Chains A and B, each alone.
Chain A
Amino acid sequence: MSDAALQLRDVRGPGALGGGRRRALELLYLIAVTEFRRSYLGTALGYLWSLARPLLLFAVLLAVFTQAFDLGDRVRHYPMLLLFNIVLFGFFQEATTQAVSSIVSQESVVRKTQFPRLVIPLAVVLTSLFNLAVNLVVVLAFLLVAGIEPTWTWLLFPLVLALLLVLTTAVATILAALYPRYRDTAIIWSVAATALFYGTPVLYPLDIVSERLRDLISLNPLTPLFELARKWVVDPDAPGPATVGNGTAWLLVPAAIVVAVCALAVWVFKREAPRIAEEL
């Protein structure tokens, strides 16, 4: 051991990234990759299953909304838009729902090792992100087969993805931190996630919604992301979030919500992280 290593350093106790940033990142990567590989190699059909779920959901919703309602005629490229949206929202839903109980289900690790707490919900998000990446490849194939012309705006899509990732991470972090203390977080979130599914332009584009509802849905921070994705990837002629809503200034509200959620995530996790092991 070198003399430098013998420098006494303060032990500050457990924290969100306790044990150093590098170690946290390596753990995050390892856990997410092994979890991802496991979900794909675990079953006989492996990868096909995780693809089958969004596709089956897509088939059901497509049947309902084109046959029972006439969205197929009113919205250009509706089936492709629906598939695309389902995959995107699926990521948000999967990551946040699994994050809720993530820390509690890793109880032994949290209580018996020096484990950076933040890594646990982040690994859940990262695993879901891997799933999303695989699903997006399939969606891309569908888009091309359906005859949607690639445009230069496709290159902007990662921006949407990045914003979605930030919001998802923040929500997942808050939920994971609150659950050990308030066990009803899981129930509340399962209802809230369903409400968000209908309150986000997933099944429908924003421009066909009634004026009054539109204002409400525009407040949802997920709304501009889905509207942007639609305009940039599926249908360049779509109005886009600023036009269909109440102008660019109105977009500041969901943006402010995103910032607030992120700030809340940092605050909540910092507050809860040191004592999570005692709450379990």
Chain B
Amino acid sequence: MARATDTPVVIEARGVEKTFRVPRHRVDTLKERALHPLARGEYRELHALKGVSFEVRQGEFFGIVGRNGSGKSTLLKILSSIYRADGGRIRMAGRLAPFIELGVGFNPELTSRENVVLNGVMMGLSRRESQRRLDAVLDFAELREFADLKLKNYSSGMLVRLAFAVMVEADADIMLVDEVLAVGDAAFAQKCMDVFRAKREGGKTLVLVTHDMATVQGLCDRAMLLHDGELRYAGEPEETALRYYRLNFGGVNGGAGAGDVPDVNVHVVHARLANARGERVENVEQGEPIGIDVVFEARHELESPVFGFHVVNADGVPLFGFNRALAGGEDRVAAGGRVRIAGTIENPLLPGRYFVSCMVSRNRTQGDLALHVLRLLEFVVYGTRPGPGSVSVKADVEAKGG
């Protein structure tokens, strides 16, 4: 997925710094200020960003990940010109539209027609252009017949659709998106993904702030990891995700310092595919059962682990999957212990390219993720009976004349 390496740089950040001064005792009124003129000094300094540098190239999908409080949303707000950086320099090329939240600036008292035009202008379109795109937005949101309804009478689903349509049709060169995918249901999330993929085909640049490593690995070309306001890594999404997990599971402080990352909790010893006869294979014939053989090793003790597998198509869409807990006996894996997951899976896949992703979580009830590998296995199903979709299932139907 290495692409966009030779296109021009469209976002360049050099040593961006941001410090918030959090008053210990908020002085909100003139009286308090007059009575406590020295209270001014009572600030706690919060270094949200400590000199972050990176660049994003045109047509790239760039992920910004980090734990809560790592400074990623602050960075996005600085890139969006909502906050001002205290130090460093940011340069950008092209028209930028930030989406910190869907539907910001919607006025419930106005009709969706009026809101769409207003929002378009807020996103940087001219009034005429915004007016021109009105139809496209309403069509995308499938809300044409409600165009003259006041927004306060909309359902929340309609609002989300409208907000998303505005964002899609704003057609900015650079989109800055903060966890927008977190709203809405699975179908909506899927629609977001489709739109983002289409945007990438159109050469748009997207900067995405997220917690969701599956999104980073599935969508981003490159990603960076922020921790305590510092840049820990920028580069391959897989590596970024891995380091993110290390930070999350590597102890309270997330390691001793930059560059010194502790071990992951779980690592993959091997992952193999096999055919029906148990011979190791790289690809699978259509209709033949898929044999898998995966061995994990726990670096630290794993309490109540769950091992989940997804079979994903080439577009990153999960097709089916299964979870396994440890069978029988003790429900934990000692440090250094190994777990083998092996067996055969029915193969309904049509010819094409597929991936197996896996997730290991511990403490089943809390769902702590210990490992997430998006592409544990990659294989091709070969055969001569293609069909619609990705899987074929038994269909006991017949067609009769008359």
Chain A positions near chain B (C-beta within 8 angstroms): 1, 5-14, 18-20, 22-23, 26-27, 29-31, 34, 38, 42, 108-115, 182-184, 188, 274-275, 277-278
Contact = CB atoms under 8 A, between A and B. Distances in A.
Contact of B91 (A1, A9, A14, A115): A9
Interface stretch (B78-86, B238-246, B389-397): B78-86
Chain B contact residues (Cβ within 8 angstroms of A): what range?
Answer: 35 or more
B98 A13 contact: no
A23 B125 CA distance: 8
Nearest to B114: A34
B83 A114 contact: no
B93 A5 contact: yes
A112 B101 contact: yes
Nearest to B205: A1
Contact of A115 (B109, B114, B117, B122): B122
B100 interface: yes
Interface in B63-115: 77-85, 89-96, 98, 100-101, 104-105, 107, 109-110, 114
A112 B127 contact: no
A20 B125 CA distance: 11
Given A30-B118, A278-B20, 7 more contacts: A5-B93, A9-B91, A12-B84, A23-B124, A109-B122, A111-B82, A277-B83
Contacts of A14: 81-84
B104 A113 contact: yes
Interface of B: 8-10, 12, 20, 28-31, 33, 58, 77-85, 89-96, 98, 100-101, 104-105, 107, 109-110, 114, 117-118, 121-122, 124, 126-127, 173, 203
Contact of A8 (B83, B85, B92): B92
A28 to B, nearest CB: 10
Nearest to A8: B91
Contacts of A115: 105, 122
A254 B35 CA distance: 33
A34 B110 contact: yes
Contact of B118 (A5, A11, A34, A112): A34
Contacts of A113: 80, 82, 98, 100, 104-105, 122
Contacts, number: 115
Contact of A13 (B84, B110, B122): B84
Q: Which 6 A-B pairs have the closest CB atoms?
A: A13-B84, A8-B91, A112-B100, A11-B90, A274-B84, A112-B104
A113 to B, nearest CB: 5
A184 B126 contact: no
Contacts of B101: 108, 112
B93 A13 contact: no
B225 to A, nearest CB: 23
27 contacts: A1-B203, A5-B93, A5-B95, A6-B93, A9-B91, A10-B90, A10-B91, A13-B78, A13-B84, A13-B85, A14-B83, A19-B124, A20-B124, A23-B124, A26-B127, A29-B127, A30-B117, A34-B107, A38-B109, A108-B105, A112-B104, A114-B81, A114-B82, A114-B98, A115-B122, A183-B28, A184-B30
B121 A109 contact: no
Nearest to B115: A34
